[in-house]
Amino acid sequence: MEGIRSSSVLSCYYSSKTHFKLRRQPLEHCFLSLPPPPPPPRHPGSRPKVRISLPSMALQVQDQQSFHKSKEMLPKIDKSGRFCSPRAARELALLIVYASCLQGSDPIRLFEKRINAAREPGYEFDKASLLQYNHMSFGGPPVTTHSVEEADELLRSDEQDSAIEAEVLSAPPKLVYSKLLLSFTRKLLVATVDKWDNHVLAIDKVVPSNWKNEPAGRILELSILHLAMSEITVLGTRHPIVINEAVDLAKRFCDGAAPRIINGCLRTFVKDLAGTSTAQTSNSKLEVPLQV
């Protein structure tokens, strides 16, 4: 027990200035014994809504065209039947960071706990659900359908998609993600933790003031920014790729305004990075060594 009391991990807490930070605290204060973290919630607008117009009995649901288009875009599966797309790794990293902030635990430790968690007796994972899972399923503006049957069919399909998401995101990661993706996810989490405090300051400069005033309501969006900034600065992924992935994550899990705001925040962040790099290069050229 003495060893446990002397141990410490990084945990999240809200700062009065910007969002939430990471700090060291005793291990017994962390909720690492909780079940696998739930998937990030979808904000209003990212799931289909039904509105009935009495005169025409028209129902407002998710855009039918985008719905069928998203169903055709299947995730990438490797020969072992596991996800091998970087999109899946970024989604898993977001899941872990989001859950760690809610639980007050260290993201890396929580990730490793999920990786090494023992399966429940009798648990079986249906790998066929991976083929049906769609990382590109985005919410869209509602349209009017012309029959109750058509709307009911779309709603049934959405309920089925939700069940598949719950099955995949709650399954043991080793059954869902390839070894390469799990390694990439861990690198991304390590980079995020290492750069957290620095990026809190960077985020404070670029996010809207209302996000600062309500940090508890923006944990998901701020987690996306932390992950994206860390991937750019530490892992060296080209910023157009990272920004596009971050915007897609926001489209998938956040409310309607978040994708546009996250896009603007990251572009400003990259512009500031480029300006800082240019200034440092100019200063280094001006420093001419003295010759004796």
Domains and CATH numbers, the chain: 78-117+172-275 (1.10.940.10)
Residues contacting residue 15 through CB under 8 Å, at least 6 positions apart: 21, 200, 215
CA–CA gap between residue 63 and residue 46 (Å, rounded): 11
Map residue 115 onto helix, strand or coil.
Answer: helix
CA–CA gap between residue 25 and residue 41 (Å, rounded): 27
Average pLDDT (43-70) is: 41
Model pTM score = 0.73
Residues contacting residue 141 through CB under 8 Å, at least 6 positions apart: 63
* pLDDT band, residue 291 (cuts 50/70/90): low
Average pLDDT (192-217) is: 90
Distances (CA, A) of 243 to 162, 206, 229, 237: 26, 15, 9, 10
What six digits make up the tokens of 245? 């992935």
pLDDT digits (tens, 9 = 90+) for 246-262: 999 999 988 888 999 99
* pLDDT band, residue 58 (cuts 50/70/90): very low
CA–CA gap between residue 18 and residue 16 (Å, rounded): 6
Question: Residue 81 above 80 pLDDT?
Answer: yes
204: left (phi over 0), alpha (psi -120 to 50) or beta: alpha
